[in-house]
Amino acid sequence: MLKTIVIRVALGLLTLWAVSILIFGATEILPGDVASAVLGQGATPETLAVFRHELGLDRPSYVRYLEWFFNALHGDLGIAMTNKRVIVETIAPRLTNTLFLAGYAALIAVPTSVVLGIVAAINEGKFIDRFVNIISLMTISVPEFFIAYVLILYLAVQFEVFPSLSTVFPEMDFSEKIYTAALPAFTLTMLVMAHMLRMTRTSVLSIMSQPYIEMAFLKGLTRSQVIVRHALPNAAAPIISVIALNLAYLIVGVVVIEVVFVYPGIGQFMVDGVAKRDLPVVQACGLIFAGAFVGLNTVADVLAIMVNPRLRHPR
């Protein structure tokens, strides 16, 4: 089993490396180069040359990739093109904010949706299942900003329970932050809950149709004994991957939500970077998002390996 885990982790690192090439490469496929794209048609060859030199674009791309990659390994993500500030300094507090928001939402969403998903599955076809199904289908179907605006309209404008803008500051204490970030956290929660719930339901249902579940019923066990002893141990691995997949989804959902609520996180920073076509910023943020995504998937697979009885107890 240890070998399987080591291989999976190595694969994760390999993926991360491939991802870094892809992120860097994506900014290189432009006909012409970044300098002419940024400066536009009107730039004279002289200004272009100066700008290229300033960006280091006059060197071959693999040299620039290696430099970028090894700097990133040391925690140096370069300097922003637009305001010439060190990117890491800008990103660090924003990353903390984003992780705070994502963690906040995950803490509510994961337990609720896993429990509801299991409840829906074991009551397949009954009222509670259909009800949960329809609600989650609706939630999946609406864009994230719709949920956000409805929450703002009712909870911030009409009833003034929570603030509509969620600008958190480092000086705020923990409870203030919780209060300020409530609306974006709720929006994110609803967003991932629907997916997580439906996927949990599906994976529990696929376990429920296994012959050993029928056998458990034929052994005269009660429904709850069958589910707790026979279904859940086998559903653990699929549920773990459902959670990981949705946490990854949550990380991406953060981007739009942060813009709606003007929440000072890394998503908003990236969107600003894209609008200003600030490539070093975009690359840095992209690397962080992709890293989190790959990391989560790797952790999920490792956990799934650890709960698999076939791998835990080889022949």
Site for another protein in 164-203 (CB under 8 A): 164
Judged by CB under 8 A, the residue of 146, 161, 176, 228 near another protein is 146
The answer to whether residue 62 forms part of the interface with another protein (CB under 8 A) is: no
C-alpha distances in Å from residue 180, one per residue of 109, 146, 188, 284, 285: 18, 20, 14, 27, 24
Judged by CB under 8 A, the residue of 3, 74, 84, 315 near another protein is 315
- Which residues, 225 to 264, sit near another protein by CB under 8 A? 225, 229-230, 233-234, 248, 251-252, 255-256, 259-260
Do residues 297 and 305 lie in contact, with contact meaning Cβ atoms separated by under 8 Å?
no
The answer to whether residue 208 forms part of the interface with another protein (CB under 8 A) is: yes
The answer to whether residue 125 forms part of the interface with another protein (CB under 8 A) is: yes
- Which residues, 85 to 114, sit near another protein by CB under 8 A? none
The answer to whether residue 214 forms part of the interface with another protein (CB under 8 A) is: yes
The answer to whether residue 269 forms part of the interface with another protein (CB under 8 A) is: no
Judged by CB under 8 A, the residue of 213, 299, 303, 306 near another protein is 213
Judged by CB under 8 A, the residue of 50, 107, 140, 161 near another protein is 140
- Of 300, 313, 315, nearest in space to 12 by CA: 300
Count other Cβ atoms within 10 Å, centred on residue 162.
Answer: 18
Do residues 66 and 264 lie in contact, with contact meaning Cβ atoms separated by under 8 Å?
no
- Of 254, 250, 245, nearest in space to 296 by CA: 245
The answer to whether residue 305 forms part of the interface with another protein (CB under 8 A) is: no
Given the complex with another protein, which of 77 and 121 has the nearer CB atom? 121
Contacts for 109-113: CB closer than 8 Å, 24+ residues apart: 109/188, 109/189, 109/192, 109/193, 109/196, 109/246, 109/250, 110/196, 110/243, 110/247, 112/189, 112/193, 113/192, 113/193, 113/194, 113/196, 113/197, 113/200, 113/246
User: Which tokens is 264 given?
Assistant: 């000072």
The answer to whether residue 75 forms part of the interface with another protein (CB under 8 A) is: no
Judged by CB under 8 A, the residue of 70, 131, 169, 217 near another protein is 217
The answer to whether residue 41 forms part of the interface with another protein (CB under 8 A) is: no
Q: How far is the CB of 153 from another protein (least distance, A)?
A: 6
| Segment interacting with another protein, rule: CB under 8 A, options 18-26, 51-59, 174-182, 238-246 | 18-26
Judged by CB under 8 A, the residue of 65, 69, 135, 149 near another protein is 149
Give the C-alpha separation, 170 to 16, whole Å: 31
The answer to whether residue 58 forms part of the interface with another protein (CB under 8 A) is: no
According to DSSP, the residues that pair with 86 across neighbouring strands are 79
- Which residues, 272 to 291, sit near another protein by CB under 8 A? 273-275, 277-279, 282-283, 285-286, 289-290
The answer to whether residue 309 forms part of the interface with another protein (CB under 8 A) is: yes
- Of 91, 57, 39, nearest in space to 291 by CA: 91
